[in-house]
Amino acid sequence: MKFGGIQRTSTIDFPKKLSCVVFTLGCDLDCFYCHNRELIENGEEISQKDIKLFLEKRKGLLEGVVVSGGEATLQKDLLGFFKYLKKLGYATKLDSNGQNIEIIKKLVESKVVDYFAIDLKATEDKYINVCGKNANYKKTSETINYLLENNCDFEVRTTLYPGITKNDLVSIAKNFGTLPLWRFNYFHMPETFKKEDLKRLRGKALIKYDMIKIKKDLIEFQKNIEI
């Protein structure tokens, strides 16, 4: 496991649990609005020993651990790390872009992840434009449908990046059965970004006022929405 950061306490990243978030290095996507670019470009590695020492000290104080990124499913010993967390007694959550369904399946079958958050970035026709040449909407869609079919505890998250529209969101909503939760993240200008993306980043992004008006159109297809 290659770690690039840790948020020592969080009340919002794991539903109903006081948790910490550990961030892994590296990602297979290149989203133009990425808020964790330092984790995929020249990120400094934190030793696994230091991460484990922290987790062992906080055992009994924290309820859960969120493994995020970057993209954690790229880590070779992800399954082993989740087994380690369960041995410590932690509830576990994985944040993922859903591109690596075989890894997700292994985690589900091993029953080491209690909750998943899958980032669904855009409509199928815009996925590569938003997330880079390696992005594959069908892979993420397959992961979401797998979690639905296996009655897993999970949520889908979509960041309201500059340029995403009401029609995009309605199109996404139509493509799935009833999701247990669809959560929207409001866009904030990232500290680090590519110069060629500056114009896009300065574009109009949907805000809460917009989402309140749009919600009635989305609920027709997805009733479990958090704006």
The pLDDT value recorded for residue 37 is 87
Kindly report the pTM of this predicted structure: 0.95
The pLDDT value recorded for residue 89 is 97
The pLDDT value recorded for residue 31 is 97
44: tokens are 């400094």
Burial profile 161-182: b = 16 or more Cβ within 10 angstroms, e = fewer = bbbbeeebbbbbbeebeebeeb
The pLDDT value recorded for residue 44 is 85
pLDDT means over runs of 10, the chain (227 residues): 94 96 96 89 85 96 96 97 98 98 98 98 97 97 98 98 98 96 97 94 97 96 97
C-alpha to C-alpha distance for 121 and 130, rounded to whole angstroms: 8
Domain that holds residue 201: 3-226
Query: What CATH number corresponds to the domain at position 129?
Result: 3.20.20.70
